[in-house]
Amino acid sequence: MMIGKKTHVLIISQYFPPDISGGATRAFNYSKCLEQQNYHVTVITAHPHQHGPVAGKYKHKMVLKEKMDGMDIIRVWVPSLLHSSVFKSAILNISFLISSMFPIFSVKPDIIFAFEPNLFSIIPSFFYSKLRGGKVIRAIDDLWPEYLYERGIFSSKIIRFFLNRLAKFSYVFPEYLFPLNNAVKEIVHDSYKIDNEKFEVLSHGINIKKFTYSKKIRTNIFTLMYFGSLIESYDFDLIINAAKKLKEKNIQFIIRGRGKLLPYIKNQKEKYKLDNLLIQTDVIKNEEISKMLHKSDVLLAPMQKSKLANYSLPTKILEYQAVGRPIICCSNGAVGTYVEQTNSGLRADQGNLESFIDSILKLESNPKLCDILGENGRKNIEKEHTFEKIGIRLSYIIDKIIKNNTN
């Protein structure tokens, strides 16, 4: 449906701000990229629920419409559950798949962008396409269901058969697929025999007006920060053990975020009396993230030993670069390669405490190197990852799809 002269893009994502997570941030960033390219953007998302039960004006509402940054947001019901177990997360995912179809007759999009959850968002996208028209495109940020299998989740052959068939469909049905990087593209291409022509490698966009750049003014305390979800994808033991080893130095570690590993991290801090490890769990607004990251000297990305997790590029890496702070990335995969290629930080051996500490001490003793690496990261964002640049690339594909379907 054309609204005035604008093409109507519908984004389906379970997570969206004010939820704070990689998925919510990526969905918002893609939405803004398109809105700034003069598309009419509608987002169907769940009531905020990622870090606590549904509350406030969203509680007991089946559907709630609101505006955010020039975009139409349609929020739908999910139960008031925490992501405290695989079972509860599955209930939340399935609930969103059902409730996301409540507004199906109130929108008529030209393009449907299947986003979150990575695998299951294809289901409502299919029904919107068949019942309301519009062609489907899909983002590929993480490799599902393979990542679940690697973690030992869903061992049932019946469930795996269903998930494998759904995964195949989620790659075959869309007009275009947007893998995060070439590594993800190659895995999907090889595993599911998808035509190369369907792929357009597309990384995240960053709002450089909100993520401002500044050099860190050194104090007598050298601060290293991890910011993000406290989940199994990251090796928090590496940070904890480094804090134990460096207790006598003027080095401070901050772990900021929420997630299922929070009780474990708190327990380790208390057990080893780590006064040099701060745990911060207060919810921060998206517009305040940049200011918070500026308080660090170095930002951390300690990737867990997971083959599949290392193919993704967490949004936090781009946010780290945008604020001009050097990164210590513990990854033997694509994340570490990216940090090395952009010369925006140091790459430590994954899971190797000695290598991690060597990287910390190298940056702690060399303020000039910190400034150089931080500046390189910011330059990379300005060159490759602004809303404008990502929006132009998305716009080219969308306009191509619209043109092909009007001829």
Q: What pLDDT digit, counting tens, does each position of 287-336 carry?
A: 889 999 999 999 999 998 776 666 778 889 999 999 999 999 999 888 89
| pTM passes above 0.85 | yes
DSSP 3-state of 100 = coil
pLDDT bracket for residue 48 (50, 70, 90) = confident
Separation of alpha carbons 132 and 176, rounded Å: 19
> Nearest to residue 105, comparing CAs of 60, 69, 63?
63
Both 237 and 200 in one domain: the answer is no
pLDDT bracket for residue 4 (50, 70, 90) = very low
pLDDT bracket for residue 88 (50, 70, 90) = confident
Q: What range defines the domain where residue 183 resides?
A: 2-205+386-406
pLDDT bracket for residue 80 (50, 70, 90) = confident
Both 56 and 177 in one domain: the answer is yes
Q: Are 177 and 188 in contact (CB under 8 A)?
A: yes
Asked, for residue 254, whether it belongs to a domain, the answer is: yes
Residue 205's pLDDT is what? 87
Separation of alpha carbons 97 and 321, rounded Å: 34
Which tokens in the block code for residue 114? Answer: 């299947």
Both 288 and 394 in one domain: the answer is no
**pLDDT one-digit tens code per residue, 100-126:** 999 999 999 999 999 877 678 999 999
- pLDDT over 50 at 2, yes or no: no
Provide the percentage of residues in the chain whose pLDDT is more than 70. 96
Q: What is the mean pLDDT of the chain?
A: 90
Residue 364's pLDDT is what? 97
Both 149 and 279 in one domain: the answer is no
Length in residues, the chain: 407
Burial of 161 from C-beta contacts in 10 A (0-12 / 13-18 / 19+): exposed
Both 158 and 240 in one domain: the answer is no
What mean pLDDT comes out for the span 142-160? 82
Asked, for residue 400, whether it belongs to a domain, the answer is: yes
Residue 1's pLDDT is what? 43
Both 245 and 354 in one domain: the answer is yes
Q: Which residue has the higher pLDDT, 119 or 31?
A: 31
From residue 186, alpha-carbon distances to 82, 120, 160, 178, 182 in Å are: 34, 21, 22, 12, 6
Number of domains in the chain: 2
Range with the poorest average pLDDT among 153-157, 177-181, 318-322, 363-367: 153-157
Q: Determine the Cα angle at 63 with ends 60 and 64, to 5°.
A: 95
Residue type, 379: K
Q: Are 226 and 255 in contact (CB under 8 A)?
A: yes
Both 395 and 283 in one domain: the answer is no
pLDDT bracket for residue 85 (50, 70, 90) = confident
Q: What is the CATH number of the domain that holds 268?
A: 3.40.50.2000
Beta-carbon contacts of 65 under 8 Å, excluding residues fewer than 6 positions away, are 72, 73, 74, 75
Residue 308's pLDDT is what? 67
